[in-house]
Structure 1
Amino acid sequence: MGVRPIDIWEMIIYNYIDLPFNQLIQEVTMSPRGKKLNEQMRADAMAKITKAALEVFAAYGYHGATMEQIMQVSGLSKGLVYHYFPSKERIFFHLVDSALEISRNTWKDALDSPGTAWEKIEKLSENIVKTAFTDESSLYSLIMIQAMTQEKGIPGLMEHIFQHLTFYNELLPLIIEAQKSGEAAQGDPDLLMISYVALIQGLALFLLNDDEMKKKVTPEILTYVLRNSERST
């Protein structure tokens, strides 16, 4: 649970009530205790704005969402929301960056693990099943789909995404290596990689509100599009 504004003021009063006003302001803003309080307040506000923005953009899309809706859902004041994000565009960029970071960590953990190329692909599929089909991750997948289809409405967004999507390309040499070992299907490795990513994104989108079906997604379903059907199991 985040820190409530009243909790922050209670901590400030408890720690600094006997100080003169000028010294109190200095302590709150400059001292280690004050900096910790500021960090708590910032983390709490950012978490609330992020959660609210995910819900609003998922429900209304980029063009339909408004800053007022995000403020209302977050329960924060207009001044506080604008303090961290001066525009709807900046909030959307923040969500895209968060989605990319989640994906990057999921992929890096698998691709940097020991084992053969196919074992790394299997590890990646296991990681994705664990992380990509939670409610929050499904919303982030929806945000990324919106981002990839709103190029004209958000200047510079596509360039920003492609600059940070390089970790996807690390899957390609693994597919090629697994083709050589006979574990991956033959064919255009680029198309196989695209099919794998598209399957993940499609499942995340279509199972957004189907918790029971999400539980049925297995790593084997994800690797199916890559697996050599003639390989003995």
Structure 2
Amino acid sequence: MSPRRPEQNAAIRERRIQQILEAALKVYRARGYHGAEIGEIARVAGLGRGLIYYYFRNKRDLFLTLIRRTLEAWQERAKDILDADLSVVERLARYLKEMCVLALQHPEITYFHTTISRNLRVIFPNEAEEVMSLYEQYMFVSFRHLIEEGVRRGELRDVDPRVAERMFFSVLFGALDNENMITPEHIDPLMEITLFGLVKTDGRTTVFG
């Protein structure tokens, strides 16, 4: 048997890493971070325990990789929306809808991010800032730039992009809460309310004006 080519080895490596990460998502969903043991992740992945340590230094390294890879995948998915030749409002609507659709398609990833992001300083006391910077890099910065573009073009109110960002993602993560996950028929109404609010206006100053 001839030795495997480097690209074959790389493909096998990537396939095994993906197996491990998918198993980690399932075990996390059932046990949480502190209850997720390497041995169980190996069993769910159908691999030997030692092979997990071949690819990852420890459980923390495994889960940090899981955070990074899933955020990278989301950024790649969102890029086409954010760069589309559409109005800012249309891109915001598509961005929100895509996140909701993906959440329904991949509930383990949704559960993972909505829960682990609330407990970063507990789970990763020494790497919390690093992880927060990943969310900043892969999610928040591009969204904030879109808000700034909308304000410049006069499509959006002159709001602080960070306030708009916080509101937007608070609504989104609330809708994706694992105990009360949004249903497909509620995605469009959620988009409407998130982008245009609850209050009917006639152009006069609001109560906060």
Contact residue 183 and residue 231 of structure 1 kept, 8 A: no
The CA deviation at 1:192 is 3.0
3-state secondary structure, aligned to 1:216: helix
| Aligned equivalent of 1:88, options 59, 63, 66 | 59
Contact residue 148 and residue 161 of structure 2 kept, 8 A: yes
Counterpart for residue 118 of structure 1? 89
Counterpart for residue 5 of structure 1? none
Matched residues in 1 for 2:130 and 2:28: separation?
19
Contact residue 111 and residue 178 of structure 2 kept, 8 A: no
**Who wins on radius of gyration, i.e. which is larger?**
1
Give TM-score scaled by structure 1 length.
Answer: 0.71
Identity %: 23
Q: Count matched residues.
A: 198
The CA deviation at 1:130 is 3.3
Q: Deviations over 1:16-63 (max 9, x none)?
A: 1xxxxxxxxxx52xxxx4334423422331122111100111221111
Cα 1:194–1:172 shift into 2, 3 Å: same
Q: Deviations over 1:142-172 (max 9, x none)?
A: 2223144131332443222232323413333
The CA deviation at 1:230 is 4.5
The CA deviation at 1:93 is 0.6
3-state secondary structure, aligned to 2:26: helix
Equivalent residue letter for 2:185? K
Counterpart for residue 140 of structure 1? 109
The CA deviation at 1:198 is 1.9
Q: Does 1:221 align with 2:190?
A: yes
| Aligned equivalent of 1:149, options 110, 119, 144 | 119
Give TM-score scaled by structure 2 length.
Answer: 0.77
Matched residues in 2 for 1:183 and 1:162: separation?
30
Contact residue 129 and residue 217 of structure 1 kept, 8 A: no
The CA deviation at 1:91 is 0.9
Matched residues in 1 for 2:37 and 2:179: separation?
26
| Aligned equivalent of 2:163, options 165, 175, 191 | 191
Q: Does 1:98 align with 2:69?
A: yes
3-state secondary structure, aligned to 1:43: helix
Contact residue 117 and residue 174 of structure 1 kept, 8 A: yes
Counterpart for residue 62 of structure 1? 33
Q: Does 1:76 align with 2:47?
A: yes
Contact residue 64 and residue 131 of structure 2 kept, 8 A: no
Stretch of structure 1 that moved more, 195-204 or 147-156: 147-156
Matched residues in 1 for 2:104 and 2:90: separation?
21
Contact residue 93 and residue 195 of structure 2 kept, 8 A: no
Gapped runs of 5+ residues in structure 2? Answer: 203-209
Contact residue 176 and residue 189 of structure 1 kept, 8 A: yes
Gapped runs of 5+ residues in structure 1? Answer: 1-15, 17-26
Matched residues in 1 for 2:98 and 2:173: separation?
14
Cα 1:35–1:186 shift into 2, 3 Å: closer
Counterpart for residue 205 of structure 1? 177
